[in-house]
Structure 1
């Protein structure tokens, strides 16, 4: 479990293939290069849920109050397999941290701002 610089709502791109994924006809499938918004960050397992990436079909049995059928949803992907998208160039970038001193009510506060390494712009 490491410190992550990817947050909920960020735009990320898949930078590696997910092994073992196949289409219905048996051919290999990949989400490599897809971009999507982070729906959830699961810090305990270092995984993220990305909109439209790593879609799975879950076959659910009908129960009282719950309709059965095939439910399609996103599955978590490891955080090392995605990279933040630079807001200016729309390409994957590493993330840096810039600190800024702000004085408010006679106190000095340090703000940490995420910065795209590719363009130098704030995220």
Structure 2
């Protein structure tokens, strides 16, 4: 089971500091997960400039030009943020039994471990 999922709030743990133009310490939502490359796309982090070819839509409007989009960042460089303390934390899993429509099921549930000072 993955520790980081789409829609999680994460914080960038490595890289250049924000005062030097980097993204370390920024928090954002996970927009996409690229499982094969072990990378995640985080909202507002790791902006790159992309040049797209000029084209036309059905209505005749021009598309293309220079865009800034979020690029993927390695999954080991981000940590999930604890919703109660707003600090980065590790994620644990516990097995619980749920009763739904009279049927018992065992499910693995993610939970935020206690946020430490070091993270």
TM-score, normalised with respect to structure 1:
0.79
Name the one with the larger strand percent: 2
- Compute the displacement of 1:107 (Å): 4.2
**What pairs up with 1:35-54 in 2 under 5 angstroms?**
35-54=27-46
Unaligned regions of 5+ residues in structure 2, if any? none
The corresponding residue for 1:82 is 78
Aligned-residue RMSD, C-alpha: 1.8
Q: Deviations over 1:48-90 (max 9, x none)?
A: 0100000111012213435121111000000000000000000
Unaligned regions of 5+ residues in structure 1, if any? 19-27
Q: Give aligned pairs, total.
A: 108
The 10-residue stretch of structure 1 (64-73 or 85-94) with the greater mean CA deviation from structure 2:
64-73
**What pairs up with 1:5-84 in 2 under 5 angstroms?**
5-17=3-15, 29-65=21-57, 67-84=63-80
Alpha-carbon distance in structure 2 between the residues aligned to 1:102 and 1:77: 35
